[in-house]
Amino acid sequence: MRATIIHGAGDVRIETVPDPVILEPTDAIVRIVRACICGSDLHPFHNKPAGSDPRAIGHEFIGVVEDTGSAVRTVSRGDFVIAPFVWSDGTCEFCREGLFTSCLHGGDWGDENVGGGQGEATRVPQADGTLIPVPGITEDSELLPSLLTLSDVYGTGYHAAITAGVRPGETVVVIGDGAVGLLAVLSAKQLGAEKIILMGRHEARTNLGREFGATDVVSARGEEGIAQVRELSGGHGAHRVLEAVGFLPAYEQALGVVRPGGAISRVGVPQYVEAPAGRVLFRPNVTLTGGVAPVRKYIDTLLPLVLDGTVNPGRVFDMTVSIEDVPSGYVAMDERRALKVLVKP
Amino acid sequence: MRATIIHGAGDVRIETVPDPVILEPTDAIVRIVRACICGSDLHPFHNKPAGSDPRAIGHEFIGVVEDTGSAVRTVSRGDFVIAPFVWSDGTCEFCREGLFTSCLHGGDWGDENVGGGQGEATRVPQADGTLIPVPGITEDSELLPSLLTLSDVYGTGYHAAITAGVRPGETVVVIGDGAVGLLAVLSAKQLGAEKIILMGRHEARTNLGREFGATDVVSARGEEGIAQVRELSGGHGAHRVLEAVGFLPAYEQALGVVRPGGAISRVGVPQYVEAPAGRVLFRPNVTLTGGVAPVRKYIDTLLPLVLDGTVNPGRVFDMTVSIEDVPSGYVAMDERRALKVLVKP
């Protein structure tokens, strides 16, 4: 089968690899119907050292179960399924608490003997704990793009809003106009935020953000951006700041716009080790929260809204490529010509 | 009157200063009945630059109202009162939310024209918003030490436990065996923690910690301390970590013992600007919370428990000095010969 393999920075190739096979009784094989490229895939696209081991890439996909191991109970051949961006056993103490991203027996797509999402098919370890079947969906459904967002970006934006503690009537700032930021806007709106200030500078994206519920857009950054947000939020900043970028300046922006007693929730993977975290948080009682989103936990809440058309998070996709064109999709996202690229194997 | 003035590192003097007077109609004058020395007073005792302006010091006191300005409504001459460690108007948007430490019109004891707690009397700005009257208390009450802890250390320990989100049945680690740490133990116990691991190495203190509710004591620090705590907490660390020290190694200790999905609450004033705050928090979804405790908010909850004898937080005091001996009290705390020093003006 064909799959996307990353060899190093800027070096993404489509290669023929062995078809996946069942290795454990808890495995399934899923034929991938739709996948996509994540903003976080751009980090290895920028940084992966040349000469490091090639690795299957892609961690967001929906598909159809082709085969199951003897111990699999909750999905069967022919089921349409959503795969969260990590796999998990569903039974360990962290999974039982809903923290599937800290599963004691889980892992990442692209790990040894586990395929990536940007391919024709993959082995799925811990199929019962990982896959969510969605009855009634066919491969020509108009809902496919929105269902695909449940594997990562929608649940990640929702995680930001939930962990920040967004409550009705509050002011929320969202930093970043990528897919996660825009879906953090949608999530804040769902949780009843009254004023949602989106910080971003790409007009097509911030316009979609307005459709998702942003009441204000601030394109300025740094001190000027902070001043504008503070003016929009009554002078003291916002109760909740959802940071969906991951670079240090975005975190510093968050520190500048958060209100005393408020919270910063990060869902962009931090690209730094040390950061200002002393009295700048302590004096105003600002809480720093968020993290790698356990998106599986939110599917119960979000899937019904996708199925009944209440929300249409799939609007974040603005480019579609075949599997052979995945490398050009990386370039389009890297050059910010595409917001988010859908892959149709 | 006599008052404690800090001139620089290691240079605390008892001086005769003008008696405090009403300057604003919202002021009160309080004669101080008991005060104390705080672990955080040791920071200027170590660091205050020589030649900087001398400053009245002390921020924890209880006393009797001697005089009030014309606009004061909630306290009167003769009332016994508790003063929280910051003053606040009680009416601004932050005070209304209970975040008295971010009051828009508040400030610190020892500010210009405001006395410190370690003196015979002080001007109290914003008396209605600051002072909490305690009817029926006389100056010979045995409850004075415990009432005094409500001005800072008990409320600060409680803030750690509340903001960390301690729930019944959980495992809690408390880092630091100072007065705040020990009262964080008591607070965690009150909130139903099942296992409370106190990290500290002064046996007299950790013994008091056991009486307050610690189930285990770990005296080792660094990697060895982390290993012992993780073994005591089922291998994965504790749900809640209450950091009551403020130095960077204590924060790093907290990172080592917190469980994925858990929370670190800091109530020791951070003595650092930058700290590890990237993926070390993000990957395991660890929340960093806490801050300068708005202790006034907790007095409604904690005062009844002091008055009816349910708790005896005043046990943290193990040395009493007259006002003339306050400098020797600083030295005793600095040399760790005293846990917490009570001042009887």
3-state secondary structure chain B: CEEEEEEECCEEEEEECCCCCCCCCCCEEEEEEEEECCHHHHHHHHHCCCCCCCEECCCCEEEEEEEECCCCCCCCCCCEEEECCEECCCCCHHHHCCCHHHCCCCEECCCCCCCCCCECEEEECCHHHHCEECCCCCCCCCCHHHHHHCCCHHHHHHHHHHHHCCCCCCEEEEECCCHHHHHHHHHHHHCCCCEEEEECCCHHHHHHHHHHCCCEEECCCHHHHHHHHHHHCCCCCEEEEEECCCCHHHHHHHHHHEEEEEEEEECCCCCCCEEECCHHHHCCCCEEEECCCCCHHHHHHHHHHHHCCCCCHHHHCCEEEEHHHHHHHHHHHHCCCCCCEEEEC
Residue B98 has which token pair?
A: 């209970």
Q: Is A204 on the interface with B (CB under 8 A)?
A: no
Show residues of chain A in contact with B260, CB under 8 Å.
94, 99, 102
pLDDT tens-digit series, residues B161-190: 999 999 999 999 999 999 999 999 999 999
Average pLDDT (B71-97) is: 98
Same domain, B188 and B280: yes
Show residues of chain B in contact with A281, CB under 8 Å.
288, 291
Nearest neighbour of A283 by CB, restricted to B97, B291, B294: B291
Phi and psi angles of residue B236, each rounded to the nearest 5 degrees, phi first: -110, 0
Same domain, A307 and A266: no
Percent of chain A with pLDDT over 70: 100
pLDDT of A7 > 90? The answer is yes
Cβ proximity of B271 and B243 under 8 Å: no
Residue B188 has which token pair?
A: 């965690």
Q: Is B291 on the interface with A (CB under 8 A)?
A: yes
Amino acid B50: pLDDT = 86
Show residues of chain B in contact with A236, CB under 8 Å.
93
Average pLDDT (A178-200) is: 98
Exposure string (b/e) for A13-32, b if CB count within 10 Å is 16 or more? Answer: ebeebeebebeeebbbbbbb
Confidence of residue B51 (pLDDT cuts 50, 70, 90): confident
In terms of Cα–Cα distance, which of A102, A43, A89 is closest to A292?
Answer: A102
Confidence of residue A51 (pLDDT cuts 50, 70, 90): confident
Same domain, B247 and B305: no
Q: What is the CATH number of the domain that holds A58?
A: 3.90.180.10
Q: What is the least distance, in Å, from the CA of A102 to any CA of chain B?
A: 7
Residue B186 region, left (φ>0) first, then alpha (ψ -120 to 50), else beta? Answer: alpha
By the 10 Å C-beta count (0-12 exposed, 13-18 middle, 19+ buried), B221 is classed as: middle
Cβ proximity of A185 and A216 under 8 Å: no
Same domain, B269 and B337: no
| Of the residues B246, B269, B290, the one at which a domain ends | B290
In terms of Cα–Cα distance, which of A345, A344, A340 is closest to A149?
Answer: A340
Average pLDDT (B7-26) is: 97
Residue A33 CA to residue A282 CA, distance in Å, equals 47
Residue A104 CA to residue A125 CA, distance in Å, equals 13
Q: What is the CATH number of the domain that holds B185?
A: 3.40.50.720
Cβ proximity of B293 and B317 under 8 Å: no
Judge: B277–A279 Cβ closer than 8 Å, yes or no. no
Cβ proximity of B34 and B342 under 8 Å: yes
Amino acid B241: pLDDT = 98
Show residues of chain B in contact with A276, CB under 8 Å.
273-274, 277
Residue A140 has which token pair?
A: 């020509």
Show residues of chain A in contact with B276, CB under 8 Å.
273-274, 277
Average pLDDT (A96-110) is: 97
Average pLDDT (A4-21) is: 97
- Provide the mean pLDDT of chain A: 97
Same domain, B303 and B282: no
Mutation to test the B interface, candidates A171, A265, A288, A296, most B Cβ within 10 Å: A288
Show residues of chain A in contact with B272, CB under 8 Å.
278
| Of the residues A290, A315, A333, the one at which a domain ends | A290
Give the gyration radius of chain B's Cα atoms: 20
Nearest neighbour of A282 by CB, restricted to B269, B285, B287: B269
Average pLDDT (B50-66) is: 95
In terms of Cα–Cα distance, which of A82, A96, A76, A138 is closest to A303?
Answer: A82
Same domain, A9 and A147: yes
pLDDT tens-digit series, residues A249-302: 999 999 999 999 999 999 999 999 999 999 999 999 999 999 999 999 999 999
Nearest neighbour of B282 by CB, restricted to A277, A278, A292: A292
Judge: B287–A292 Cβ closer than 8 Å, yes or no. no
Nearest chain A residue (CA) to B247: A278
Per DSSP, the three-state class of A125 is: coil
pLDDT of A192 > 90? The answer is yes
Report how many helices (DSSP H) and strands (DSSP E) chain A contains, helices first: 12, 19
Per DSSP, the three-state class of A179 is: helix
A 10 A CB-CB count for B138 gives: 10
- Provide the mean pLDDT of chain B: 97
Average pLDDT (B73-98) is: 98
Cβ proximity of B238 and B263 under 8 Å: no
ipTM above 0.90, yes or no: yes
- Indicate the number of domains in chain A: 2
Judge: A285–B292 Cβ closer than 8 Å, yes or no. yes
Confidence of residue A48 (pLDDT cuts 50, 70, 90): very high
Domain that holds residue A251: 154-290
Same domain, A47 and A148: yes
Same domain, A325 and A239: no
Amino acid B121: pLDDT = 98
pLDDT tens-digit series, residues B289-327: 999 999 999 999 999 999 999 999 999 999 999 999 999
Same domain, B233 and B195: yes
- Single-letter amino acid code for the residue at B23: L
Average pLDDT (A103-112) is: 96
Name, in order, each residue with C-beta under 8 angstroms of B69's C-beta and a sequence gap of 6 or more.
B22, B24, B25, B26, B27, B28, B127
Residue A204 CA to residue A213 CA, distance in Å, equals 15
Q: Is A105 on the interface with B (CB under 8 A)?
A: no
Amino acid A98: pLDDT = 97
Average pLDDT (B94-122) is: 97
Amino acid A186: pLDDT = 98
Show residues of chain B in contact with A284, CB under 8 Å.
102, 291
Q: What is the least distance, in Å, from the CA of B325 to any CA of chain A?
A: 31
Same domain, B143 and B74: yes
Nearest neighbour of A102 by CB, restricted to B163, B284, B292: B284
How many CB pairs (< 8 A) connect A and B?
108
Judge: A282–B290 Cβ closer than 8 Å, yes or no. yes
Same domain, B134 and B16: yes
Same domain, B101 and B229: no
Average pLDDT (B15-38) is: 98
Q: Is A187 on the interface with B (CB under 8 A)?
A: no
Confidence of residue A50 (pLDDT cuts 50, 70, 90): confident
Judge: B283–A277 Cβ closer than 8 Å, yes or no. no
Judge: A291–B276 Cβ closer than 8 Å, yes or no. no
Q: Is B142 on the interface with A (CB under 8 A)?
A: no
| Of the residues B249, B267, B290, the one at which a domain ends | B290
